[in-house]
Amino acid sequence: MTIQQFLVYLSLCAVCVLTKPTDKKDRVHHDPQLSDKVHDDAQNFEYDHDAFLGADEAKTFDQLTPEESKERLGKIVSKIDEDKDGFVTVEELRDWIKFAQKRWIYEDVERQWKGHDLNEDGLISWEEYKNATYGYILDKIDTDKDGFVTEGELKAWIKKAQKKYVYDNVERQWQEFDMNQDGLISWDEYRNVTYGTYLDDPDPDDGFNYKQMMMRDERRFKMADKDGDLIATKEEFTAFLHPEEYDYMKDIVVQETMEDIDKNRDGVIDLEEYIGDMYSHDGDADEPEWVKTEREQFVEFRDKNRDGKMDKEETKDWILPSDYDHAEAEARHLVYESDQNKDGKLTKEEIVDKYDLFVGSQATDFGEALVRHDEF
């Protein structure tokens, strides 16, 4: 097959970047499908386009004119013709398709290469990889930069890693509310973005009382704002969005919960209010079994003083229980197993020496976490 014939045959191709591996975990390393399209050339060539270019890149050709498509395809063919003899063989075409289907691997390697080849000599030694991979994280854990990782620092790191979704959520919303991009969010900025013109409508179509909602938000904002200047740092804004994660915000969590459930506004939650927050009868005479169980839970465990209602402290025990601290237990375990000189704290060398304890045996899973370590 000549290059000219090849160009004509594939002139309508759509181009390349690669399909990402499936989310489903499978220990057997299967060769991926070349396309999820039906392979029926009588209908279309979509399967061939995906196979030749990779599904994502193939889509980009749909936006090109025939002339642009041919031009770009010609450049691709020059790459396929490895021996530069003017012909594309079956073997060369096979190698190209394999490359196109696994381009994400090569792109991932290229991205990580720059982060690990510290001396830029075109090679990566084990020392370079170890320092770039483990050293970075250990420096993050060692917050006081004394060269040791204490049990407290380990506990804080584990908690942060487990609650990454909180920080991701804050980061996403931060860009929306920091209107003047000064690295802070004032109450006025938050109020204007969140409520805006809603406050001017006394009778909104959706039935919400936005002024009441705003007053509730303002109260929480002021509680999160430790210095009282009505301007939130990122940490204060995190406490505002996720008050359940901060000890000094737990009272407002309890207060808001009680306000939501306490329909008769007597300052406590009785049994019917407790059940009504979870279940609506809607004319049903018979309650589901789980509702009966919740009634028993209220009487036996929620209402500790047996007065028929939950006060503030009882509500707090219900929604913010003092659970077993898994992060602290894991931190103690890691220190115990890795602390070679038994001084109660870990050096970087002690942690790296026990890397298999910290990273487990599923290297690929930990590798994915390390790729994203800068997110922590």
Residues 6+ apart with CB under 8 A from 349: none
Q: Tens of pLDDT along 261-295?
A: 999 999 999 999 999 998 887 767 788 898 899 99
- As a whole-number percent, the residues of the chain with pLDDT over 90 amount to 23
Q: Tens of pLDDT along 221-275?
A: 999 999 999 999 998 999 999 888 888 999 999 999 999 999 999 999 999 999 9
Which residue is it, tokens 């696994």? 102
* Contacts made by residues 157-162, CB under 8 angstroms, sequence distance 24+: 158/327, 158/330, 158/331, 159/327, 160/376, 161/376, 162/327
CA distance 72 to 78: 10
Cα 362 from chain centre? 20
Least confident of 121-125, 180-184, 298-302: 121-125
For the chain, give every domain's residue range: 34-116
pTM: 0.49
Q: What is the pLDDT of residue 113?
A: 81
